[in-house]
Structure 1
Amino acid sequence: MNGERLTLRRRLHRRILALRVTLWTLIVPPTVWAVHFIFCYLWVAVSCAQLGAFPRFTIAFIAGTGLALAIILASGVIAFVQSRTPGDPPPHDEGTDIDRLRFLATATLLLAALSFIAVLFTAAPALMLTDCR
C-alpha cells in the first residue's frame, strides 16, 4: 500500500515536470482572481437589488471560492515544481530555455501567491458584512 502511494506520487511529480510554464500559465492565477471578484460582487449586487438583503453565505459562494482557490493552488504547485528545475542560480537572465522556464515559473508562483491572498480578501466581506447599505 505504501509502495503504491509512493509510485503514484512519483508519477504525479513526473507529470508536473512534463508540463511547461508559459505566458498562458502565467495569466491563469490573476484571471481566476478577476473572475472570482466579478462573481462575488455581481452576486452581492443582484442579491441586494432583488432581495433587499445581503446574501447569506450560500453553497454557490463557498463552491466558487473553493474552486478559485483550488485552481490557483494547482497553478502555484506546478510553478513551484518548475521553478526548482536544476540550473544556474538567479537571476535567470540568460537566453537559454531552462532560464526562461525558471523565470516564468518564479513569476507564476509569485502571481499565484498574490492571487490566492486576493481571493481570500475578496471573499472576506461575505463573512463580515450583513447589510446592503
Structure 2
Amino acid sequence: MSDEHQSDLAARLRSRRVTLWTLIVPPSVWAVHFMFCYLWVAVSCAKLGEFARFPVAFVVGTIVALAIIIASGAVAFVQSRTPGDPPPHDESTEIDRTRFLATATLLLAGLSVVGVLFTAAPALLLTDCR
C-alpha cells in the first residue's frame, strides 16, 4: 500500500465513531469461539468417539475468530493514536473519550487473542476424548 492510501485509511478510521459496541466485539468473539470449541468437541466425541485427525472446521473457526479480533484491535490501535490534548485530561472531550474507548478495545483485543489461542490449544493438541 502506498503512503497516501495508508494515511487515507488511517484518517477514515480515526473519524469513525467509537462506542461501547466496538468495545465488546473482541470479548464477544472470544465467547462465541469458546462455545464453538466446546460444542465441536462434545459433538465429535459423541458421534465419532474421538477427535478428527485434522479438524478443518475447528481450525477455520479459530482463524476467523482471530481475524475478527485482530481487525478490531487494528482499528482500535489507529483510533487510540488520534491526536488531541496532552495529559492530564481534565475536560471530557470527544477526542479523549474516543482515545479511552479505543485503548480499552485494544487491550481487550489483546486479551481476547490470548483467550482464543488458549481455548484452541487443547482441542488441537489432545487426541483422546477421555
Q: Scaled by the length of structure 1, what TM-score is found?
A: 0.88
Please, which runs of 5 or more residues in structure 1 have no aligned partner?
none
> 2:112 is matched with which residue?
115
- 2:36 matched to which residue of 1? 39
Deviations, residues 24-46 of structure 1 (Å, cap 9, x unaligned): 00000000000000001100000
20, 24, 39: which is aligned to 1:23? 20
Map of 1:1-133 to 2, 5 A cutoff?
5-90=2-87, 92=89, 94-133=91-130
What is the rounded CA distance, in whole Å, between the counterparts of 1:123 and 1:32 in structure 2?
13
Q: Percent identity?
A: 72
User: How many angstroms does 1:55 deviate by?
Assistant: 3.0
**Amino acid of the structure 2 residue aligned with 1:107:** A
CA distance in 1, matches of 2:58, 2:51: 13
What is the CA deviation profile of residues 13-60 of structure 1, one whole-angstrom value per residue up to 9, with x for unaligned ones?
222122222100000000000000000110000000111112333221
Change (3 A) 1:94 1:77: same
Measure the CA separation in 1 of the matches of 2:69 and 2:35: 16
Measured on the aligned residues, the alpha-carbon RMSD in Å equals 1.7
Gaps of 5+ in 2: none
CA distance 1:86–1:106, change in 2 (3 Å): same
- State the distance in 2 between where 1:112 and 1:93 align: 27
Of 50-59 and 21-30, more deviation after overlay is shown by 50-59
- Tell me the number of residue pairs that the alignment of Structure 1 and Structure 2 aligns: 130
When the two structures are superposed, what TM-score results if normalisation uses the length of structure 2?
0.90
CA change 1:126–1:90 in 2 (3 A) is: farther
Change (3 A) 1:71 1:97: same
